[in-house]
């Protein structure tokens, strides 16, 4: 059973972050929301593993939320 990686794992954190912001540039709130939603689905399918996905969903809910 795979574990969700919670230590730094990006090839290049700053580059990814810049790309993420760039892909939202010029979009209205609705379009940005839709892009984020599609991104979640694309990434979730790539992961596939049900256990990892459920850990990810739990992790996204911050302690105290």
**Binding residues for another protein, per CB under 8 A?**
33-34, 37-38, 40-42, 45
End-to-end CA, the chain: 27
The smaller minimum CB distance to another protein, of residues 12 and 45, is found at: 45
Between CA 53 and CA 47 the distance in angstroms is: 7
Backbone angles phi, psi at 63, to 5 degrees: -55, 135
In the complex, what is the shortest distance from the CB of residue 4 to another protein, in angstroms, rounded to a whole number? 20
In the complex, what is the shortest distance from the CB of residue 21 to another protein, in angstroms, rounded to a whole number? 19
The smaller minimum CB distance to another protein, of residues 5 and 40, is found at: 40
């Amino acid at each position: 059973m795979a574990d969700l990686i919670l230590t730094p794992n990006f090839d290049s954190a700053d580059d990814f972050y810049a790309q993420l912001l760039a892909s939202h540039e010029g979009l209205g709130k609705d379009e940005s929301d839709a892009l984020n939603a599609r991104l979640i689905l694309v990434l979730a399918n790539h992961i596939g593993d049900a256990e990892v996905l459920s850990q990810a969903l739990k992790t996204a809910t911050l302690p105290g939320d």
